[in-house]
Amino acid sequence: MISVGAGLIALAAGLGVAFAAIGSATAQGRTAAAALDAMWRQPEASGAIQTAMMLALAFMEFLTILVLLVAFMIVGKIG
């Protein structure tokens, strides 16, 4: 039998990751689109653009990863 509290915790974890994923996916999509646009305009600068893009993507990814860790933490509390 699952209690209401456990259900709420699971809901919080799921919703948290979902919202974080929506945010970072939107931001990463915009970043990738801008980078591809820049690469298409100036193919000879591809290397530098790619490096900068990857760093920017990593910073956005990190926020989702943080939420994921918090989600694991609170799911562990259901026990």
Partner 1 sequence: MATNLYYFLASAASTAEHGASAAGEGGHGAPLFKLFGLDVTAQVTTTWVVMALLILLGWLATRNLKREPHGLQNVMEFVTEALVSFLSSVMGREKARKMMPFLGTLFLFILVSNYSGLIPGAGYVKGFAAPTSVWGVTLGLAICAIVAVQVYGVQKKGIRYFSHLFKPIYLTPINILEEIARPLSLSLRLYGNVFGEETVTLTLLSVVPYVLPMAAMLLGVIFGAVQAIIFTTLTAVYIAMATAEHH
Site residues (CB under 8 A) for partner 1? 47-48, 51, 54-55, 58, 61-62, 65-66, 68-70, 72-73, 75-77, 79
Residues in the chain, total: 79
> Phi first, then psi: what are they for 2, rounded to 5°?
-100, 130
> Phi first, then psi: what are they for 77, rounded to 5°?
-75, -15
Q: How far is the CB of 51 from partner 1 (least distance, A)?
A: 5
Q: How far is the CB of 4 from partner 1 (least distance, A)?
A: 20
- C-beta closer to partner 1: residue 38 or 68: 68
Q: Alpha-carbon distance 14 to 4, whole Å?
A: 15
